[in-house]
Chains A and B, each alone.
Chain A
Amino acid sequence: EAGVAQSPRYKIIEKRQSVAFWCNPISGHATLYWYQQILGQGPKLLIQFQNNGVVDDSQLPKDRFSAERLKGVDSTLKIQPAKLEDSAVYLCASSLRGLQSEQFFGPGTRLTVL
């Protein structure tokens, strides 16, 4: 079974630029999550999708972050404009039965904002 795919693996941008990350979850997983993991910290849940609808985005900084999951499969997370403090690994995960069950994580995208 293929795992969660993410691209790109690494991205370096300057502050105030925009960036987008892509995620393809495990086939059949209705729930998809985006996390932000700052170096030395645990992942922080940003947004949760059930199929193509947003379940919860209370931790997403909506003035600069946006996410979508068109057609209920792939998802993109965008940052515009980026700030220095956005430097982190952005993890995508998916699960069969919602947040309170095993989540399968992708390898993440490491973002560096200069």
Chain B
Amino acid sequence: GESVGLHLPTLSVQEGDNSIINCAYSNSASDYFIWYKQESGKGPQFIIDIRSNMDKRQGQRVTVLLNKTVKHLSLQIAATQPGDSAVYFCAESPDNNDMRFGAGTRLTVKP
């Protein structure tokens, strides 16, 4: 899994499988969390966000789970496709002036 500010872990999955990317955040005051996808040579692209008053939020093929008790965030990608290969970042924010990104997880999808 990933912790905000540490090394870049990797995850390799088979095409069609589900992927789970984990993130441990550090600031208990954080009330907003967001996942971004970054492909090589491009800027980050929004995937999904969640506020601290929710435990789960679903998008198209993606689900974000938030566990405030253990300060853990996860991104689930259903039926992973080759186009999902990228680096995934979680970020936490305690207010509208501060946002901290993790180091990212590199997802590789094998055909």
Contacts and interface: CB of A to CB of B under 8 A. Distances in A.
Interface string B72-107: 000000000000000001010101111111111000
Given A43-B44, A107-B42, A108-B43, 7 more contacts: A42-B5, A42-B101, A100-B32, A100-B95, A103-B46, A104-B46, A106-B43
A99 B101 contact: no
B43 A42 contact: no
A58 B97 CA distance: 9
A44 B93 contact: no
A48 to B, nearest CB: 7
B93 A102 contact: no
A69 to B, nearest CB: 16
B43 A40 contact: no
* Chain A: interface size category: 20 to 34
Interface of A: 4, 40-45, 48, 55-56, 58, 91, 93, 98-108
B96 A99 contact: yes
B8 interface: yes
Given A42-B89, A42-B104, A43-B89, A91 B43 contact: yes
Contacts of A55: 96-97
Given A43-B89, A56-B98, A107 B41 contact: yes
Interface string B36-71: 100001111110010000000000000000000000
Contact of B103 (A40, A93, A100, A105): A40
Contacts of B96: 55, 98-100
Contacts of B42: 107-108
A91 B42 CA distance: 10
B93 A100 contact: yes
Contacts of B97: 48, 55-56, 58, 99
